[in-house]
Amino acid sequence: MNNNYDVAVIGAGPGGYVAAIRCAQLGLKTVCIDAGRNSRGDPALGGTCLNVGCIPSKALLESSEHYAHLQHGLAEHGLGVSGATLDLARMLKRKDKIVDKSTGGIAFLFRKNKVEARAGSARFLSIGERCRLEVVNEAMRDELEARYVIIASGSVPMPLAAFPVDGERVVDNAGALSFREVPKRLGVLGAGVIGLELGSVWRRLGAEVTIFEARDQFLAMADQQVASEAFKLFTKEQGLDIRLGVKSKAMRAGKDGVTVEYETAQGAQQYDCDRLLVAAGRVPNTAGLNAEAVGLKRDARGFIEVDDRCRTAFANVYAIGDCVRGPMLAHKASEEGLAVAERIAGQQPEVNYATIPAIIYTAPEIAWVGETEQALKAAGRAYRKGVFWFMANGRAQALGEAKGFVKVLADDRSDRILGVHMIGPRVSELVAEAVVAMEFAAAAEDLARICHAHPTLSEALHEAALAALGRPLHQ
Ligand SMILES: Cc1cc2nc3c(=O)[nH]c(=O)nc-3n(C[C@H](O)[C@H](O)[C@H](O)COP(=O)(O)OP(=O)(O)OC[C@H]3O[C@@H](n4cnc5c(N)ncnc54)[C@H](O)[C@@H]3O)c2cc1C
């Protein structure tokens, strides 16, 4: 085997595999090394996202939502079913099949684009005009050389010393995507995106779910009007027990369950559950790269230090995705991968970090792009806001999902859109229009003057833009 490449990519998650494909498309001889394994222990491309993240969680969210709808959502349509059953094994099999198809799809794309895939763990031996990497797996040890290296080693769940994951009673995201039976009582540490999404899955399937969050504020990163609507819907209507301002201290795990010891303003308390999901955040997966030995800098939390173009202190070593600063999102990783590949090929692409959308796939969904209202206030920026509730949207009413709203925030003087925040049906799709509008520096007036089809959910965005101009039509 010829071990000389133009580009070596470390990691085949949505950052690395996209970077590798684009490099190959641009005529660069590219190898992508990935240490990922699927639940059967076989090498599997796609990283966290495809194997234990975005894709399997969305598969289970979809299945569990069907189940919830079957139980609670059909009667108002005049439909009834008796004997609705849950076959969890089959639901999990469907999820695994989707994961296999997706990871197999990356293997196909690598072959199609002539990216060489190597299964194993990579670490730096040296960085110079050409970089030397060592690749190790259980069967072999190899060395290769590349002119450029793109580090896309992703992230792993943040371990909590007091709550060690055993994969059985105490699990991280991977374990919570594969419970073989519905827990009676599921405890979740962390009311972030992962805790809320996976907590929702098991709540819909019948578990009593209690989520412990250390912060006093719910969804601090989201617009707080959206967060407070979400909190109301999740707790009052869906029965998620979300406890804020809780310090989780310790646990005792036995054969039958887990006892969590925690503290609130009221003092020390205990909570018994049969499974505990630790979802307190994620940390960069950079420990195995031999970074410091070759002069690559990591910050105190382990993120590889890069500039705004994803370049390390070495002109020929880049890092992208979850292992560098910025939001830990698959599409952010992919955008950076694309941009870095093109920079290596001599092009000058830019990633616009101001227009990266964020989505939480609960029901209703939450999505946003740009500045929150609280951030604008804190910055002393003069803005106008328009809010339109799905209650007044015909399509949402027809769907039977008329909860939530769309909010448009626009600069008071220029009318330029500064942020769009949504909670409601299918807003994960709706937010794309707001992203495009902001990418083209649209004003609220631009959105207000664009024809939106009727009856569609997109009319809620249209109306929110009209509302920001003080002239909503339907409320
Ligand atoms: C439950 C869950 C749900 C999520 N849902 C969403 C969602 O809906 N939308 C969204 O945008 N994001 C979501 N995310 C986040 C998303 O998965 C990550 O942001 C994304 O996967 C980051 O991509 P990446 O390429 O940087 O890294 P990763 O996907 O983590 O991939 C890194 C790869 O590098 C490999 N690797 C690491 N070190 C080495 C080494 N030394 N040698 C070789 N290989 C190595 C790893 O094995 C892995 O395969 C979710 C995450 C979780 C856990």
pLDDT in tens, 280-338: 999 999 999 999 999 999 999 999 999 999 999 999 999 999 999 999 999 999 999 99
Instruction: Report which ligand 1 atom has the smallest distance to the Cα of 198.
Output: 1
Asked if the model's pLDDT at residue 1 lies above 60, the reply is no
45 alpha carbon – ligand 1 mean position (Å): 11
Amino acid 423 reads: I
- b/e sequence 151-174, b meaning 16+ C-beta within 10 Å: bbbbbbbeebeebebeeebbbbbb
Biggest CA pair distance of the chain: 70
Which whole number is the average pLDDT over 50-62? 98
Instruction: Choose the residue to mutate in 49, 60, 428 for probing ligand 1, maximizing ligand atoms within 8 Å of C-beta.
Output: 49
455: preceding bond cis by omega (within 30 degrees) = yes
Residue with CA closest to ligand 1 atom 13: 54
Instruction: Report which ligand 1 atom has the smallest distance to the Cα of 45.
Output: 49
pLDDT in tens, 220-255: 999 999 999 999 999 999 999 999 999 999 999 988
- Alpha-carbon span 73 to 402, nearest angstrom: 13
pLDDT in tens, 93-127: 999 999 999 999 999 999 999 999 999 999 999 99
Instruction: Choose the residue to mutate in 55, 133, 135, 153 for probing ligand 1, maximizing ligand atoms within 8 Å of C-beta.
Output: 153
Pocket residues: Cβ below 6 A from ligand 1 = 10-16, 33-36, 47-49, 53-54, 57, 121-123, 152-155, 173, 194, 285, 288-289, 321-322, 328-331, 333, 361
pLDDT at 255: 85
Instruction: Report which ligand 1 atom has the smallest distance to the Cα of 47.
Output: 49
Mean pLDDT of the chain: 97
Question: How confident is residue 87, by pLDDT bands cut at 50, 70 and 90?
Answer: very high
Residue with CA closest to ligand 1 atom 37: 153
Instruction: Report which ligand 1 atom has the smallest distance to the Cα of 321.
Output: 26
130 alpha carbon – ligand 1 mean position (Å): 27
Contacts of 307 (CB under 8 A, 6+ apart): none
441 alpha carbon – ligand 1 mean position (Å): 31
336 alpha carbon – ligand 1 mean position (Å): 14
With vertex at residue 331, the alpha carbon angle to CA 325 and CA 335, rounded to the nearest 5 degrees, is 75
Residue with CA closest to ligand 1 atom 6: 54
User: Of the listed 66, 454, 462, 474, which one is catalytic?
Assistant: 454
Residue with CA closest to ligand 1 atom 30: 154
Question: How confident is residue 152, by pLDDT bands cut at 50, 70 and 90?
Answer: very high
Which whole number is the average pLDDT over 168-174? 96
Asked if the model's pLDDT at residue 207 lies above 80, the reply is yes
Task: State pTM to two decimals.
Answer: 0.97
Detail the DSSP E strand segments found in 82-173: 116-119, 121-126, 131-137, 140-151, 155-157, 170-171
CB 171 within 8 A of CB 165: yes
Query: Helix (H, G, I), strand (E, B), or coil: what is residue 259?
Result: strand
Residue with CA closest to ligand 1 atom 7: 54
Is-catalytic flag, 454? yes
* Percentage of the chain lying above the pLDDT 70 cut: 100
Q: Which two tokens stand for residue 124?
A: 């730096």
Instruction: Choose the residue to mutate in 9, 54, 369 for probing ligand 1, maximizing ligand atoms within 8 Å of C-beta.
Output: 54
Instruction: Report which ligand 1 atom has the smallest distance to the Cα of 15.
Output: 25
337 alpha carbon – ligand 1 mean position (Å): 13
What are the backbone angles phi and psi of residue 14, rounded to the nearest 5°?
A: -60, -20
Residue with CA closest to ligand 1 atom 3: 53
Q: How far is CA 383 from CA 114, 188, 370, 411, 475, in A?
A: 50, 37, 13, 4, 21
pLDDT at 64: 98
323 alpha carbon – ligand 1 mean position (Å): 9
Instruction: Report which ligand 1 atom has the smallest distance to the Cα of 289.
Output: 41
Q: How far is CA 272 from CA 108, 186, 256, 339, in A?
A: 46, 9, 10, 48
156 alpha carbon – ligand 1 mean position (Å): 8
32 alpha carbon – ligand 1 mean position (Å): 15
Reading across the β-sheet that carries 275-278, which strands appear in turn?
A: 170-171, 275-278, 185-189, 208-212, 241-243
- Alpha-carbon span 417 to 438, nearest angstrom: 6
Question: How confident is residue 185, by pLDDT bands cut at 50, 70 and 90?
Answer: very high
- Alpha-carbon span 382 to 373, nearest angstrom: 11
Question: How confident is residue 2, by pLDDT bands cut at 50, 70 and 90?
Answer: confident
321 alpha carbon – ligand 1 mean position (Å): 8
Instruction: Report which ligand 1 atom has the smallest distance to the Cα of 121.
Output: 42
> Do the bridges between strand 365-370 and strand 417-424 make them parallel or antiparallel, or are there none, so unpaired?
antiparallel
Name the CA radius of gyration of the chain, rounded: 24
